[in-house]
Amino acid sequence: MTGYGVRFVLALLRVSFFFPLIVVGGEGIAQEAQTLQDSAQENSLQNSPQKTEDSESPPGGGFTLQSSTGPVSLEDLRGKVVLLYFGYASCPDVCPLDLYNMAAALDDMDDETRARVRGIFVSVDPQRDTAEKLEEYTKFLHPNILGLTADEKTLREVASRYGVQYYRVEIKDSDLPYAVNHSAATYLIDPEGSLRFIFPHGTPSSVLQEASEYTLTRFLKAPLID
């Protein structure tokens, strides 16, 4: 793999991450992702993963949100790699691309690896995205992707831990009364619950797959958690 390969994945750990707000359907997304990639590749590579400890990097952290079957916490997923994404079900283009790449990464894993990786889709549109709606949405993506939501205050608190920004934009003359402009990135959390990688919008599925497998190889010590 070249370009977006292991070298890019590892180099991302040395980058100061700040993701400006990506306007859904707007221009400049590809340029932003390419700029981040170029910056990452200029950094020295490390032989082993390190935490994102830069002062501008989001800390990540635990959370408890609601699924259609009840509360789900990050603690429940210890022993697994978590691919975390913030968006909303009515998103016309940004979310579908990144979630498709997440699903494709899961599809391309072998059975043993896939059993140790869970995708989490957190909706930043609690007014429209109920837990039941998110279940319907995510089950068409992949069985290993779970849709979660919460009240507005809780969502804001969790989003802030991962550096996610979002806000509503009213739309005139549209079937949808509003859209949600939001940051777009995929966050990889290791089996111990620590944020390890942040991938920009449009990151290929092969990178998500390889990073997940790499993280499991380097960090997984606990037995498989069903």
**At 209, which CATH number?**
3.40.30.10
Q: Residue ranges of the alpha helices (H) in the chain?
A: 6-11, 29-42, 94-108, 111-114, 131-139, 152-161, 205-219
Going by pLDDT thresholds of 50, 70 and 90, the confidence category of residue 176 is confident
Q: Domain for residue 150, yes or no?
A: yes
12 contact partners, CB below 8 Å, separation of at least 6: 40, 197, 198, 199
* Residue 225 covered by a domain: no
Give a yes or no: residue 224 inside a domain: no
Give, in degrees to the nearest 5, the angle at Cα 55 between 54 and 57: 65
Q: Residue 142's pLDDT is what?
A: 97
Contacts of residue 204, defined as CB under 8 A and 6 or more positions apart, other chains included, come to 4, 101
**How many independent structural domains does the chain possess?**
1
Per-residue pLDDT tens over the stretch 177-198? 899 999 999 999 999 999 999 9
Residue 226 lies in a domain: no
What is the overall mean pLDDT for the chain?
79
pLDDT tens, position by position, 72-90:
999 999 999 999 999 999 9
Give me the helices (H) in 168-221, please.
205-219
**Two structure tokens written together for 15:** 């980058």
The Cα–Cα gap between 196 and 182 comes to: 21
pTM: 0.76
Looking at the domain assignment, is residue 1 inside a domain?
Answer: no
Q: Which domain holds residue 132?
A: 6-219
